[in-house]
Amino acid sequence: MGTFTLSEALAGAFSKRKQPARKARSGAPHPTGARVLRDSVEAGTFEHVFFVAPAKGETDKLLRMARRLVEAGRQLRSEARLNGRVLSPTEALLTTLTSASVRVFEEILTLSRLNNGKVFPSYDYLAEATSLGRATVARALRILERIGFLIRQRRFKRIEAEGPGPRYEQTSNAYRPLLPKSLMDYLPRWMRPAPVPDDELQRETDRLEEIKYMRSKLSCRELAESVVDGPLGKILARLGAAIDAQERESQIDPQPLMDSYIIGRNGVGLVGQRSNA
């Protein structure tokens, strides 16, 4: 009997989820009446794992680092112009960081601090809050994302409309601020995070190995319940239970072993037959 793996079941479950219709290549009108951008995810389905509440003082620290990196970028531009220095790809990205980008980053950090990490402002809100033009805000977000200060996730939402089938429209993006490790070398030493002690690294390695070992001993149903929460987790748990049942059945061969032999006291004979004396 064929068997399945949990990864195959997960792939099958996600592949059956309805995706928003996209604009036809022929140029026909979008069937929902609104364009949904590529790589968009439905609002309300992922935010619980995307947003992370900042630690105390973390947003202020990130803002100070971003402002210091603007100065580092200006210095790199000056060295490249005056001394002919060849910039690395990371340095070239850093030179694109502007004061306007940091102002937008500051507003996103403020929202993160006030809303426990939940940040999904519209472009119009950011433009009004920063007193910058909408195009400047859009350019600043692209710069921040390229450098690594932001993770941005496009979102769409369902809307009520006449006609058959579900309707969708684009909504505001979700943002998660962070500081890329690749820029640490361009910060003053006093601003860099303290290195993690070796014993702490070893404890974390041991913890991850223990989790990996424990998960290897779980059934498909138990693994699905431990990894995914909510309604999707319940569906995957039922799939995992079905996979577990198939695995158990595959280990039981109902066909009789017709060619098996046993060694008796009077010689060798077929199973179920009496050996000749």
Last residue of a domain, one of 196, 225, 260: 196
Question: Which of 223, 194, 226 is closest to 9 using CA atoms?
Answer: 223
Q: Which of residues 204 and 259 earns the better pLDDT score?
A: 204
Residue 67 has what pLDDT? Answer: 93
pLDDT at residue number 261? 46
* CA 42 – CA 207 distance, rounded (Å): 34
| 187 and 235 both lie in a single domain | no
Residue type, 202: Q
From edge to edge, which strands make up the β-sheet containing 167-177? Answer: 41-42, 150-159, 167-177
Euclidean distance between CA atoms 109 and 81, whole angstroms: 33
What gap in Å lies between CA 130 and CA 233, rounded to an integer?
41
Most confident of 31-40, 108-117, 260-269: 108-117
* More reliable by pLDDT, 106 or 28: 106
Question: Bigger pLDDT: 198 or 84?
Answer: 84
Domain interval for residue 144: 16-196
What per-residue confidence (pLDDT) applies to 270? 47
Residues 243, 130 share a domain: no
What is the C-alpha separation between 96 and 141, in angstroms, rounded? 12
The answer to whether residues 142 and 244 belong to one domain is no
> CB–CB of 175/119 below 8 Å?
yes
Read off the pLDDT of residues 100-158 as tens digits, 9 standing for 90 and up: 999 999 999 999 999 999 999 999 999 999 999 999 999 999 999 999 999 999 999 98
11 falls within a domain: no
Lowest model confidence (mean pLDDT) among 60-74, 132-146, 177-191, 215-229: 215-229
How far apart (Å, rounded) are the C-alpha atoms in residues 153 and 45? Answer: 12
CA 83 to chain centre: 42
Query: Average pLDDT of 26-30?
Result: 38
Half-sphere exposure of 50 (CA within 13 A, CB side): 22
Q: pTM of the full predicted structure?
A: 0.60
Domain tally, the chain = 2
- Rounded-to-integer distance, Cα 143 and Cα 101, Å: 7
| Residues of the chain above pLDDT 90, percent | 45
Dist CA 124 CA 38 (whole Å): 21
Residue 76 has which token pair?
A: 């790199």
Cα separation, 74 vs 241, whole angstroms = 59
The per-residue pLDDT for 14 is: 46
Residue 20 forms part of a structural domain: yes
> What is the pLDDT confidence band of residue 5, given thresholds at 50, 70 and 90?
low
Domain presence at residue 51 = yes
Least confident segment among 139-153, 245-259, 263-277: 263-277
Tell me: do 50 and 175 sit in the same domain: yes
Q: Which residues contact 70 (CB under 8 A, 6 or more apart)?
A: 97, 98, 99, 102
Q: In this model, does residue 31 exceed pLDDT 50?
A: no
Instruction: Note the pLDDT tens digit of each residue in 146-188.
Output: 999 999 999 999 888 776 667 888 999 999 999 888 888 888 7
Domain presence at residue 144 = yes
Do 61 and 181 fall into the same domain? yes
What does the mean pLDDT of the chain come to?
Answer: 79
Strand partners, 102: none
Give CA–CA dist 217/236, Å, rounded. Answer: 18
Predicted pLDDT at 121: 96
For range 76-96, the mean pLDDT: 92
Of 12 and 208, the one with more pLDDT: 208
Q: Quick one: 96 and 168 in the same domain?
A: yes
What is the reported pLDDT for 27? 37
Which of 17-54 are b and which e, b meaning 16 or more Cβ less than 10 Å from the residue's Cβ? eeebeeeeeeeeeebbeeebeeebebbeeeeeebbeeb
pLDDT at 252: 63
